[in-house]
Amino acid sequence: MDALDAEAIAAQLGKSAARASVEVCASCASTNAELLRRVSADGRALILAAEEQTAGRGRRGRRWLSSPGSAATFSVSRRLRCTPAALAGLSLAAGVAAVRALRGLGVIDVLLKWPNDLLLRGAKIGGILVETRQLGGEICVVIGIGINCRSMPELGGHLRRRIAALDDSAQPPLARNAVIGAVAREVLGALDEFERAGFAAFAADWTALHAYEGRRLRVRLEDGRTLSGIASGLAANGALRLRTRAGLREVATGQVVTARAS
């Protein structure tokens, strides 16, 4: 097992290393929860990676499952000078940053699934969870990322769905420190860009990386109803646009259930 190492992760950060602190822990409940409790006194970004998360969380309170040494599980926190409303689309921007990093490492077939999944050849390889904490006129943003690095057939059986890992695409296997460092570097750069220009700076790239763009999707809405339509880009706030028989609809929250050729 390639052990996580704070210095090895920091070495991948480039110019961002001067304004970020990196920590590694053997085990914690949740790296997101830990960083939400802590706020950098000097305004530096914080990066916390864990070998194991005992209460790792995914979207809508779901558990994030991984075996020690098999995944890159970490969180990045930074203060942003903006209003809560201005954060719409931030998880999508983080997804673009993660794909940029992984493609830079040679994983060229990774794509995005709305709203916050990373896909490799149609199977989930990772996910993103954004949480925030108000700090006077600033907001502490915590972006949690989990990426499967080593193949785990038993996990796919447990979840009863296909999952993927970086090992399925990258040979020789990528070191987890390199993965965390590269993705964290891109996320920090994306936070700078998002603070300046909002989600508009990422919308075109997200649509170009959308695995299901132009396909007919069935989306389960928050109230349990389903909506079908052809994926047609994103709204300014990151909502998924579906072209339905009744016209263009925007879905702010929901889950893509199925996707097929239109």
Cβ-based neighbours of 54, under 8 Å, separated by 6 or more: 27, 28, 29
Round to whole Å and give the CA distance between 6 and 8: 5
pLDDT in tens, 186-215: 999 999 999 999 999 999 999 999 999 999
Q: What is the value of pTM for the model shown?
A: 0.92
Place of tokens 């389903």: 226
Looking at the structure, give the CATH architecture of the domain made up of residues 212-260: Roll (2.30)
Return the CATH fold of 6-207: BirA Bifunctional Protein; domain 2 (3.30.930)
Contact 155, 44 (CB under 8 A): no
Q: Say if strands 20-28 and 45-53 run parallel, antiparallel, or are unpaired.
A: parallel
| Both tokens assigned to 181 | 């460092």
pLDDT in tens, 12-63: 999 999 999 999 999 999 999 999 998 776 789 999 999 988 876 655 555 5
Going by C-alpha positions, the residue among 88, 129, 97 that lies closest to residue 252 is 88
What spatial distance separates the first Cα and last Cα of the chain, rounded to whole Å? 43
As annotated, the residues of the chain forming the CATH 2.30.30.100 domain(s) are 212-260
As annotated, the residues of the chain forming the CATH 3.30.930.10 domain(s) are 6-207
